[in-house]
């Protein structure tokens, strides 16, 4: 049965994710101003984002296990405090290394406390509308680029990058600390008993889950999916500027991607509830690959917008469905740990895009090879997703009409 407070948790998760993920990804807007003022290379600044994803991945696994043990509220509250602290320290950094440690390690750990714990928590609140609920939380995260990034761009137009980043830190504290107290652990579910839909094996241990074929396919697909879109997401603003677009116009491409991702999450969430998460993920991965490759050919603002709509809708729509697939295979009592482990592996894929894209630009003075590589990896992700094993026989039997 749907429980009404679950929608409060969805709303809280959407806001927390919007601010946390949006603040982390706003580094793309700071890239050029920081480089101009400090003399730090784009590769060096981008490395902070790579560290973000690496730390986010490792910490996500730990935060997920803590969520299973102590509940999501203390985890999300810790992340809110760390996010503001990391941004504040980064704004005061006197060297590139200090910036990389503050922004990469602390902000990355904070983001890890938000993404997987919130997504895993929401899967426990819903049964019939699980794909939609998870997608709405993810939609909040997807709104980060269309809210925090333009806010950061406005701050940079009026203040230096240090003041801008410190301001975002204060805003994060003000919004997220109170919101964290709205997050609750889901009550016991009827899905984690023998014969239930989407429960997997109720007696499955964490070790068994992490060695299972379904987890291996899930993790590999998640990794390649993130490796496909991380570079284009992070570097497209700089790519558009290199193509001759004004800085503010280039930032709007980032926002269009975020808005399209919001629509994609809703569309894919509804489709996942209707047709099943797995086939929807395969289709989305194919569209994502085509979108990433098409960026190679665009030059003017209208073309950027068109590709951003398709690309943003695809990667935004696919991302939350990995949690839905995980919930179909694994019991709720270990969801934080299992999905945290999958998210940790996916973060390694996210970590590739910023640093590889920066290296490609510094080496070739062009981003062309970034989009070609993203296209190839995206096709690989779709191919791996086809190997998802069938759902447990109990689930299939219960899904048949009486």
Residue 397 lies in a domain: no
Residue 398 lies in a domain: no
pLDDT > 90 fraction of the chain, expressed in percent and rounded: 30
Which pLDDT does position 396 carry in this prediction?
Answer: 41
Distance separating alpha carbons of residues 336 and 55, to the nearest angstrom: 17
DSSP category for residue 382: H
Q: What is the DSSP string of 161-197?
A: HHHHHHHHHHHHHHHHHHHHTT--PPPP-GGGSTT-T
Residue 162 — pLDDT band, cuts 50, 70, 90? very high
CB 50 within 8 A of CB 180: no
Map tokens 């894209």 to a residue: 357
Please indicate whether residue 211 or residue 144 has the higher confidence score (pLDDT). 211
Which pLDDT does position 201 carry in this prediction?
Answer: 62
Task: Classify 357 as helix, strand or coil.
Answer: helix
Q: How much is the average pLDDT of 175-200?
A: 70
Half-sphere exposure of 252 (CA within 13 A, CB side): 12
Residue 77 lies in a domain: yes
Average pLDDT of the residues of the chain = 84
pLDDT tens digits, one per residue of 260-274: 888 888 888 888 888
> Which structure tokens are listed for 39?
């003399």
Asked whether residue 198 carries a pLDDT value surpassing 50, the answer given is no
Distance separating alpha carbons of residues 59 and 160, to the nearest angstrom: 31
Residue 86 lies in a domain: yes
pLDDT tens digits, one per residue of 62-101: 888 888 888 899 999 999 999 999 999 999 988 999 999 9
pLDDT tens digits, one per residue of 343-384: 888 878 887 887 888 888 888 878 889 999 999 999 999 999
Residue 374 lies in a domain: yes
Distance separating alpha carbons of residues 21 and 19, to the nearest angstrom: 6
Distance separating alpha carbons of residues 115 and 144, to the nearest angstrom: 13
Residue 400 lies in a domain: no
pTM: 0.71
Orientation of helix 301-318 relative to helix 277-294, angle to 10°: 160
For residue 328, give the CATH number of its domain.
1.20.1250.20
Close Cβ partners of 275 (under 8 Å, ≥ 6 residues apart):
none
Distance separating alpha carbons of residues 19 and 257, to the nearest angstrom: 17
Asked whether residue 171 carries a pLDDT value surpassing 90, the answer given is yes
Distance separating alpha carbons of residues 276 and 70, to the nearest angstrom: 31
Map tokens 């503010």 to a residue: 248
Please state the domain count of the chain: 1
Range of the domain at 294: 5-187+196-391
Asked whether residue 1 carries a pLDDT value surpassing 70, the answer given is no
Distance separating alpha carbons of residues 87 and 105, to the nearest angstrom: 11
Residue 122 lies in a domain: yes
Task: Classify 127 as helix, strand or coil.
Answer: coil
pLDDT tens digits, one per residue of 278-309: 999 999 999 999 999 999 999 889 999 999 99
Residue 396 lies in a domain: no
């Amino acid at each position: 049965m749907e429980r009404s407070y679950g929608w409060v948790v969805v709303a809280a998760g959407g806001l927390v994710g919007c601010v946390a993920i949006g603040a982390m990804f706003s580094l793309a807007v700071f890239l050029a101003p920081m480089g101009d003022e400090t003399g730090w290379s784009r590769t060096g600044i981008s490395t902070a984002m790579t560290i973000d994803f690496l730390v986010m991945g490792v910490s996500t696994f730990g935060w997920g296990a803590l969520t299973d043990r102590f509940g999501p509220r203390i985890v999300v509250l810790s992340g809110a405090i760390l996010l503001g602290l990391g941004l504040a320290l980064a704004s005061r950094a006197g060297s590139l290394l200090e910036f990389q440690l503050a922004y990469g390690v602390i902000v990355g750990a904070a983001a890890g406390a938000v993404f997987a714990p919130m997504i895993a928590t929401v899967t426990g609140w819903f049964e019939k509308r699980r794909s939609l609920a998870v997608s709405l939380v993810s939609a909040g995260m997807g709104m980060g680029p269309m809210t925090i990034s333009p806010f950061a761009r406005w701050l940079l137009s009026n203040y230096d990058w240090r003041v801008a980043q410190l301001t975002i830190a204060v805003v994060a504290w003000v919004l997220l600390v109170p919101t964290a107290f709205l997050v609750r652990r889901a009550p016991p579910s009827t899905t984690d008993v023998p014969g239930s839909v989407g429960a997997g094996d109720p007696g499955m241990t964490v070790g068994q889950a992490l060695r299972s074929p379904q987890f291996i396919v899930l993790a590999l697909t998640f990794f390649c999916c993130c490796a496909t879109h991380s570079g284009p997401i992070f570097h497209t603003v700089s790519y558009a500027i290199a193509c001759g677009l004004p800085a503010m116009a280039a930032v709007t491409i980032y926002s269009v991607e975020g808005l399209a991702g919001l629509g994609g999450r809703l569309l894919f969430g509804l489709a996942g509830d209707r047709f099943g998460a797995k086939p929807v993920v395969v289709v989305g991965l194919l569209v994502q690959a085509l979108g990433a490759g098409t960026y190679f050919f665009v030059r003017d603002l209208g073309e950027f917008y068109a590709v951003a709509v398709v690309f943003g809708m695809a990667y935004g729509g696919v991302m939350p469905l990995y949690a839905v697939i995980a919930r179909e295979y694994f019991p709720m009592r270990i969801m934080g740990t299992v999905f945290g482990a999958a998210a940790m592996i996916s973060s390694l894929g996210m970590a590739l895009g910023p640093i590889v894209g920066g290296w490609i630009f510094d080496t070739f003075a062009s981003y062309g090879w970034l989009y070609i590589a993203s296209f190839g990896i995206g096709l690989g992700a779709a191919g791996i997703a086809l190997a998802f094993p069938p759902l447990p026989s109990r689930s299939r039997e219960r899904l048949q009409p009486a």
